[in-house]
């Protein structure tokens, strides 16, 4: 009983096997093994704690490294203001001609190969309108290409106004038209400084916004929206033009804009949409790029999807209003007061990041 060996009675009394009735007799060897055991379990436990901590850190805050150059919202803002300063860019007017010349010169100045596509189309009112699509291309030798586009014309009437007097006047279109073009001009300025791995084509489409007015009682059936992009989609400036995908910027300038998942974009380019919206979220622009379904909008991306088979995503400010758009849409409130540098920065930086990540 007193020789230090384990007794059956000790086991039954649930004392651990290394329990000794006489602690003084605990052998030095046993003490040594015990301390080794504690040291090893302590080390294993602590190191597993450490790795657990760093694993948790990775899950909570995934590191995202922006690889694109900084988009300059002041610069984009000034390009929007310049377009608006010409007056409404209604096809057939001197303001339209002057703004077209400005856009073409800007694209050339930013180092693109410029191609202007001109054509005459018959519109629903019997008017013959000359359209002018303005195209700027980077690195034409590259086979893999991405298409970025916006419309540069502005609507000849303000049919969302209630006063008939106001309805018949053309809108400034700071958001509806000029914003997308302004953001793309700033992207072009960045592309001149540092090229992407893929080729980029920028197209400013004409005659997007002369769809028949809601107040017009002589309804004429036909495709009266997106005429410039439809023309180009059937007659591309280079034979068999192809791009991996396209991104349309339409009404991307308003404060608190919400870019929902537009219907046709989801139907034909859901992978492009998820990439764009994920990048926006990673860059901290989730407030603008809301991950929620929006409505289907007949816009410049539709003829390009249909006729060229290019998957296109539309970045467009969609709202839960009766017409689906922001309150200034097709009214005289669509002027520079609506343009937010925060919004154009979110859009410009997201699109830049998207194209600089392309290999």
Residues that bind ligand AHN (CB under 6 A): 176, 209, 225, 250, 297-299
Angle at CA of residue 89, ends 253 and 138, nearest 5°: 65
Span near Zn ion by CB under 5 A; candidates 23-31, 44-52, 91-99, 147-155? 147-155
Q: Which is nearer to Zn ion, 178 or 347 (CB)?
A: 178
Residue whose CB is less far from ligand AHN, 222 or 284: 222
Among 175, 176, 201, 206, binds Zn ion (CB under 5 A): 176
Interaction partner, residue 159 (ligand AHN, Zn ion, none; CB < 5-8 Å by kind): none
Shortest distance (Å) from residue 275 CB to ligand AHN: 23
Of the pair 198, 257, the CB lying nearest ligand AHN is at 257
Q: How far is the CB of 123 from Zn ion (least distance, A)?
A: 16
Compute CA 119 distance to the chain's CA centroid, rounded to the nearest angstrom.
31
Partner touching 175 among ligand AHN, Zn ion, none, CB below 5 to 8 Å by kind: none
Q: Decide the pairing of beta strands 245-250 and 199-205.
A: unpaired
- By beta carbon distance, the residue nearest ligand AHN is 298
Asked if 209 interacts with Zn ion (CB under 5 A), we say yes
Report how far residue 200's alpha carbon sits from residue 23's, in angstroms, rounded to the nearest whole number.
82
Least distance (Å) from ligand AHN to the CB of residue 142? 30
Q: Nearest Cα to 99, choosing from 108, 112, 90? A: 90
Helix axes 301-308, 263-283, angle to 10 degrees: 110
Q: Which stretch binds Zn ion (CB under 5 A): 41-49, 110-118, 173-181, 290-298?
A: 173-181
Give Cα separations from 308 to 137, 231, 241, 262, 301 (angstroms): 18, 11, 8, 19, 10
Total interface residues for Zn ion by CB under 5 A: 3
The whole-angstrom distance between residue 2's C-alpha and the CA centroid of its chain comes to: 82
C-beta of 235 vs 298, nearer to ligand AHN: 298
* 153 near Zn ion (CB under 5 A): no
In the complex with Zn ion, which residue's Cβ is closer, 254 or 355? 254
Output the DSSP codes for 140-153: TT-SSEEEEEEE--
Q: Which residue lies nearer to ligand AHN by CB, 123 or 142?
A: 123
- The residue among 176 and 186 lying less far from Zn ion, judged by its C-beta, is 176
Among 53, 68, 95, 109, smallest CA distance to 358 is for 68
At 79, which helix (H) or strand (E)? helix 73-85
Question: What's the closest the beta carbon of residue 93 comes to ligand AHN, in angstroms?
Answer: 18
Provide the edge-to-edge strand list for the sheet that holds 145-151.
113-122, 128-138, 199-205, 145-151, 245-250, 312-316
Q: How far from chain centre, in Å, is Cα 281?
A: 10
Binding site partner of 225, from ligand AHN, Zn ion, none, Cβ cut-off 5-8 A by kind? ligand AHN
Residues that bind Zn ion (CB under 5 A): 155, 176, 209
């Amino acid at each position: 009983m007193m020789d230090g060996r384990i007794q059956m009675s000790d086991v039954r009394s649930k004392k651990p096997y290394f329990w000794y009735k006489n602690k003084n007799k605990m052998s030095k060897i046993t003490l040594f093994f015990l301390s080794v055991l504690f040291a090893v379990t302590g080390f294993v436990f602590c190191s597993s704690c450490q790795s657990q901590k760093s694993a948790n850190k990775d899950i909570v805050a995934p590191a995202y490294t922006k690889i694109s150059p900084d988009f300059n919202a002041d610069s984009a803002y000034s390009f929007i203001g310049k377009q608006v300063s010409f007056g409404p860019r209604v096809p057939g007017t001197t303001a339209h001609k002057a703004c077209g010349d400005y856009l073409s010169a800007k694209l050339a100045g930013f180092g693109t190969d410029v191609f202007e596509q001109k054509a005459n189309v018959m519109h629903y009112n019997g008017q013959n309108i000359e359209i002018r699509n303005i195209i700027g291309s980077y690195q034409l030798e590259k086979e893999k290409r991405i298409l970025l586009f916006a419309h540069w014309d502005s609507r000849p009437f303000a049919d969302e106004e209630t006063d008939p007097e106001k309805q018949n006047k053309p809108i400034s279109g700071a958001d509806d038209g000029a914003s997308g073009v302004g953001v793309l001009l700033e992207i072009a300025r960045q592309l001149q400084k540092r090229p992407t791995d893929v080729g980029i084509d920028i197209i400013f489409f004409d005659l997007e916004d002369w769809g028949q007015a809601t107040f017009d009682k002589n309804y004429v059936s036909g495709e009266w929206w997106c005429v410039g992009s439809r023309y180009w989609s059937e007659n591309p400036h280079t034979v068999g033009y192809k791009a991996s995908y396209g991104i349309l910027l339409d009404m991307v300038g308003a404060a608190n804009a919400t870019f929902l998942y537009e219907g046709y974009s989801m139907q034909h380019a859901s992978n492009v949409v998820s990439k764009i919206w994920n990048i926006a979220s990673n860059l901290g622009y989730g407030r603008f790029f809301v991950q929620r379904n929006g409505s289907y909008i007949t816009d410049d991306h539709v003829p390009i999807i249909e006729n060229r088979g290019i998957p296109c995503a539309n970045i467009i400010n969609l709202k839960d209003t009766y017409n689906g758009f922001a309150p200034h849409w097709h009214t005289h409130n669509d002027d520079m007061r609506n343009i937010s540098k925060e919004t154009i920065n979110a859009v410009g930086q997201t699109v830049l990041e998207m194209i600089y990540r392309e290999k």
